[in-house]
């Protein structure tokens, strides 16, 4: 590393520099310069090109020390020159300023420019993705003094990816679990593989537990009134019914397992919420007989069985016990036809789904089948959300799955469908922040493990890189 001496008068301030200026800190730096001189060289750019213009002598790191040096009458300082395009220069500026106080407006502007929610960069500069999202939002609404944070306004950022791994999500979930108690009771060990699935047994006692935060979001975003009515044809535990009742809505759930309803009712009575949730024991295929004919609802919200992924009982009417996917889908259609008939006009269906694979590992395309079904019932597909779940056992399964080129699924899908005239909707659409990558296979999926090597051949350094003296630090 070559350290040169440069005149302070030749140095140029980076026009976008986000670091805060504080008179107090400036005095401290001045005092330190007086006592010790420059302990570290500053970093300047030596780059110029047609695209970036002349960036020579622009300070990349050391703005505060140069301010102090100028005030202290220091005429020359030690500097290291780097040769960086403007975008890299801005990134380097952020990295060198890591852990320092930033002027948020300028920081937001550069982050917007760099178009990054890139984890490594956000971590290096000391902000997590959530803070960056909040800053971008705050910047957009800067002119509005009544602006509020996205999490304050909506509970979670209203983006097309729901990230349940985030701290704000986990804290909210803990709160609901504390309020509602153990949501896995009565189904322990029911997940495919049952008690054999030791890894899953370690997580959630072997059952998939519905996330109460999802319920809270569905009710607060997709019900038009404070005291709405919800219909759920596959009630399960209290993660949907309990949250609805606690939030002051009226919940009607159909559930085929008597013991689950008994557990739910006991818990609701304990919580003093029994009048807000009604559970109907039976097969939701008989919805019209189970539920009084005059009942209509503000929201259909449910998480159905994903065919045979989780077998809930040995009851032949339990949808998860159907012999074929086709049979399952036939009953499924009959159930949702009745649900949609009971949904009021200009209201939503919110359904939480996960795709399932057949015995050859091929996806059944359950999500698309749902979209087709609801569209055929006259509903409009309105939001498609990727719900990213905590990793749980995913890392343990990765190596094995990848032998067959199956990427481990760490998400579920939430569809919101609308019944009625979409022009009447005031709800904003969610901001799209995901795209999808699909992979299709031609041939017999059983041959994948033999045909494709495991683990995949990853070449660490595909383009061997000769250090270029024109690039990076000179």
Residues forming contacts to ligand SAM in the complex (CB under 6 A) are 208-210, 234, 236-237, 239, 254-257, 260, 283-285, 303-305, 312, 317-320
Q: What distance in Å separates the CA atoms of residue 63 and residue 102, rounded to the nearest whole number?
A: 12
For helices 23-36 and 63-71, the axis angle rounded to 10 degrees is 70
Tokens of 388: 């990213």
We find the least distance from the C-beta atom of residue 156 to ligand SAM, in angstroms, to be 20
We find the least distance from the C-beta atom of residue 215 to ligand SAM, in angstroms, to be 9
Q: Of the two residues 121 and 271, which places its CB atom closer to ligand SAM in the complex? A: 271
Q: Of the two residues 234 and 374, which places its CB atom closer to ligand SAM in the complex? A: 234
The secondary structure of 139-200, three-state, reads: HHCCCCCCCCCHHHHHCCCCECEEECCCHHHHHHHHHHHHHHCCCCCCCCCCECCHHHCHHH
Say which residues have a Cβ less than 8 Å from residue 398's Cβ, sequence separation at least 6: 408
List alpha helices for 19-128, DSSP H: 23-36, 63-71, 86-96, 104-114, 119-124
Find out whether 128 and 118 touch, Cβ atoms under 8 Å.
Answer: no
We find the least distance from the C-beta atom of residue 417 to ligand SAM, in angstroms, to be 18
We find the least distance from the C-beta atom of residue 251 to ligand SAM, in angstroms, to be 12
Q: Of the two residues 62 and 304, which places its CB atom closer to ligand SAM in the complex? A: 304
We find the least distance from the C-beta atom of residue 391 to ligand SAM, in angstroms, to be 19
Q: Of the two residues 27 and 341, which places its CB atom closer to ligand SAM in the complex? A: 341
Find out whether 242 and 260 touch, Cβ atoms under 8 Å.
Answer: no
We find the least distance from the C-beta atom of residue 279 to ligand SAM, in angstroms, to be 10
Pairing of strands 380-388, 161-163: parallel
Find out whether 319 and 328 touch, Cβ atoms under 8 Å.
Answer: yes
We find the least distance from the C-beta atom of residue 161 to ligand SAM, in angstroms, to be 21
Q: Of the two residues 191 and 379, which places its CB atom closer to ligand SAM in the complex? A: 191
Q: Of the two residues 62 and 242, which places its CB atom closer to ligand SAM in the complex? A: 242
Q: Of the two residues 81 and 351, which places its CB atom closer to ligand SAM in the complex? A: 351
Say which residues have a Cβ less than 8 Å from residue 201's Cβ, sequence separation at least 6: 189, 195
Q: Is 449 helix (H, G, I), strand (E, B) or coil?
A: helix
Q: What distance in Å separates the CA atoms of residue 245 and residue 238, rounded to the nearest whole number?
A: 10
Q: Of the two residues 124 and 413, which places its CB atom closer to ligand SAM in the complex? A: 413
Q: What distance in Å separates the CA atoms of residue 387 and residue 228, rounded to the nearest whole number?
A: 24
Q: Of the two residues 107 and 356, which places its CB atom closer to ligand SAM in the complex? A: 356
Residue 102's nearest CA partner among 115, 113, 93, 114 is 93
List alpha helices for 295-410, DSSP H: 325-342, 366-376, 394-403
For 256-303, where are the E strands, in sequence order?
Answer: 277-281, 297-302
We find the least distance from the C-beta atom of residue 327 to ligand SAM, in angstroms, to be 12
Q: What distance in Å separates the CA atoms of residue 99 and residue 232, rounded to the nearest whole number?
A: 48
We find the least distance from the C-beta atom of residue 167 to ligand SAM, in angstroms, to be 23
We find the least distance from the C-beta atom of residue 209 to ligand SAM, in angstroms, to be 5
Q: Of the two residues 351 and 417, which places its CB atom closer to ligand SAM in the complex? A: 351
Its sign, for the CA torsion 204, 207, 212, 213, is positive
Q: What distance in Å separates the CA atoms of residue 229 and residue 244, rounded to the nearest whole number?
A: 9
- Which residue has the closest beta carbon to ligand SAM? 236
Task: Return left, alpha or beta for 340; rule: phi > 0 is left, psi -120 to 50 is alpha, else beta.
Answer: alpha
We find the least distance from the C-beta atom of residue 463 to ligand SAM, in angstroms, to be 47
Q: Of the two residues 108 and 186, which places its CB atom closer to ligand SAM in the complex? A: 186
We find the least distance from the C-beta atom of residue 328 to ligand SAM, in angstroms, to be 10
Q: Of the two residues 254 and 386, which places its CB atom closer to ligand SAM in the complex? A: 254
Q: What distance in Å separates the CA atoms of residue 367 and residue 152, rounded to the nearest whole number?
A: 31
Count Cβ atoms below 10 Å from residue 437 Cβ, excluding itself: 5
Q: Of the two residues 45 and 412, which places its CB atom closer to ligand SAM in the complex? A: 412
Tokens of 176: 């609901």
């Amino acid at each position: 590393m070559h350290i040169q001496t440069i005149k302070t008068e030749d140095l140029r301030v980076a026009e976008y520099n986000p670091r805060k200026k504080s008179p107090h800190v400036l005095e401290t730096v001045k005092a330190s310069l007086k006592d010790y001189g420059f302990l570290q060289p500053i970093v300047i750019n030596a780059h110029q090109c047609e695209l970036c213009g002349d960036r020579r002598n622009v300070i990349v790191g050391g703005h505060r020390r140069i301010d102090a040096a100028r005030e202290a009458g220091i005429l020359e300082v030690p500097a290291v020159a780097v040769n960086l395009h403007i975008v890299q220069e801005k990134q380097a500026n952020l990295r060198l300023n890591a852990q320092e106080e930033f002027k948020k407006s300028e920081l937001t502007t550069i982050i917007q420019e760099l178009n990054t929610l890139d984890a490594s960069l956000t971590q290096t500069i000391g902000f997590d993705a959530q803070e960056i999202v909040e800053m971008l939002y705050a910047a957009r609404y800067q002119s509005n003094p009544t602006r509020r944070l996205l999490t304050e306004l909506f509970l979670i950022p209203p983006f097309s990816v729901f990230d349940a791994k985030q701290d704000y999500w986990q804290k909210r979930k803990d709160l609901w679990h504390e309020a509602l108690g153990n949501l896995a009771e009565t189904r322990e060990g029911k997940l495919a593989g049952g008690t054999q699935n030791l890894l899953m047994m370690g997580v959630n006692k072997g059952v998939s537990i519905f996330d109460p935060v999802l319920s809270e979001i569905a009710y607060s975003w997709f019900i038009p009134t404070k005291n709405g009515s919800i219909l759920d044809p596959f009630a399960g535990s209290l993660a949907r019914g309990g949250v609805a009742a606690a939030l002051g809505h009226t919940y009607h759930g159909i559930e085929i397992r008597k013991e689950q309803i008994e557990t739910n009712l006991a818990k609701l009575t304990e919580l003093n919420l029994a009048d807000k949730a009604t559970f109907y024991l039976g097969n939701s295929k008989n919805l019209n007989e189970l539920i009084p004919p005059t009942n209509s609802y503000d929201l259909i919200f449910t998480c159905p069985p994903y065919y045979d992924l989780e077998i809930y009982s040995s009851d032949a009417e339990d949808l998860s016990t159907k012999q074929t996917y086709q049979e399952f889908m036939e009953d499924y259609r009959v159930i949702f036809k009745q649900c949609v008939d009971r949904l009021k006009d200009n209201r939503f269906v919110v359904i939480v789904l996960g795709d399932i694979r057949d015995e050859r590992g091929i996806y059944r395309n359950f999500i698309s089948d749902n979209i087709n079904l609801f569209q055929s019932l006259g509903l409009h597909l309105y939001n498609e959300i990727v719900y990213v779940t905590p990793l749980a056992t995913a890392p343990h399964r990765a190596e094995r799955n990848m032998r067959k080129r199956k990427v481990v699924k760490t998400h579920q899908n939430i569809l919101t469908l609308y019944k009625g005239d979409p022009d009447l909707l005031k709800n904003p659409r969610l901001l799209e922040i995901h795209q999808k990558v699909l992979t299709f296979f031609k041939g017999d999926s059983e041959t994948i493990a033999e045909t494709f090597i495991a683990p995949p051949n990853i070449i660490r350094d595909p383009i061997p890189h000769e250090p270029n003296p024109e690039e990076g630090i000179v």
